[in-house]
Amino acid sequence: MRINGCEDGSRMTSVVRILALAATILTLFARSAGAQTPASGPGTAESQKSAEAYRTLYLASAGQKDAEDVLTDLRNMLPRTKLFYIPSQSAISVRGNPEDIQLAQKILSDIDRSAKTYRLTYTITEMDDGKQTGKQDFTLVVSSGARTVLKQGTKVPVVTGVFNEGSSSANSQVQYLDVGLNLEASLEGHGDGLRLRSKIEQSRVAEEKSGVGMQDPMVHQTTLEEISTLTPGKPLLLGSLDIPGTARRQQIEVISEPVP
């Protein structure tokens, strides 16, 4: 009986030692895992907040519509960054990490550029029976993305109504028609060239009268509307116009030059 008691005591002592060793191993493992786990809570939020930066980026040439396009581009390229546009200052406030702010500056420097300006010279050559009888040059300065209008002629009054007709205080309502040359040009960048939209109108008052009213004039009008691609410094023939009320024709040519 004593031998069995000794054996049982030895076995119990071994089991206790094994359990104690296992507990020590688990404790050391837990401490090691805890040391490798990133800290959480307010400390992490504060470190992320301190990593953010702030910068105000000023637009050099973008207008209201262009500024909205720039802001949309930045928001799509930098979704983690907060962007605010201040129209009165033509500026964009940026808050984010330094890398995103640096990228925002690079994007802005690439797309916020002054619009290029060109000098367009329209040459109108008058032809009669295949012979040149006259020539006129009209010069317009147009910025890329903008439109310029030139008008040359007279204003013709047209009575559109009469107030208090038949009385001594009768008044006529009059509107005016622009008669002569009307030239419109707009430019857009297109690859290595320019996309030009031209509209040329020639009009003149006819000798015959309108059958609607004794004072209503008849106006002859011819319009040429063209979309073409220009190469700076190279002339381009847009087309020709019949001169209203005559047998003559006009050939229209345009050439573009960059304005320094």
Prediction pTM value: 0.57
- The pLDDT value recorded for residue 183 is 92
Neighbours of 158 (CB within 10 A): 16
pLDDT of 121 > 90? The answer is: yes
| Cα gap 197→221, rounded to integer Å | 20
Which pLDDT band holds residue 40 (cuts at 50, 70, 90)?
very low
Could you identify the residue written with the tokens 């559109």?
A: 160
- The pLDDT value recorded for residue 203 is 85
pLDDT of 250 > 90? The answer is: no
Task: Identify whether the C-beta of residue 196 lies closer than 8 Å to the C-beta of residue 185.
Answer: yes
* 208-248 per-position pLDDT tens digit: 766 655 567 778 888 889 899 888 889 999 988 777 667 78
* Window from 38-47, 48-57, 228-237 with minimum mean pLDDT: 38-47
- Alpha helices by DSSP H, listed for the chain, are 2-36, 42-51, 64-77, 98-111
Short-list 91, 92, 61, 60, CA closest to 77: 92
Mean pLDDT value across residues 30-36: 57
Could you identify the residue written with the tokens 């030059």?
A: 257
CA atoms within 13 A on the CB side of 101: 15
Domains of the chain: 49-111 (3.30.1370.10), 117-258 (no CATH)
* 133-184 per-position pLDDT tens digit: 899 999 999 988 788 999 988 888 877 766 666 666 667 677 888 888 899 9
Share of the chain above pLDDT 90, in %: 21
Which pLDDT band holds residue 29 (cuts at 50, 70, 90)?
low
Which pLDDT band holds residue 252 (cuts at 50, 70, 90)?
very high
What is the average pLDDT value for the chain, to the nearest integer?
A: 78
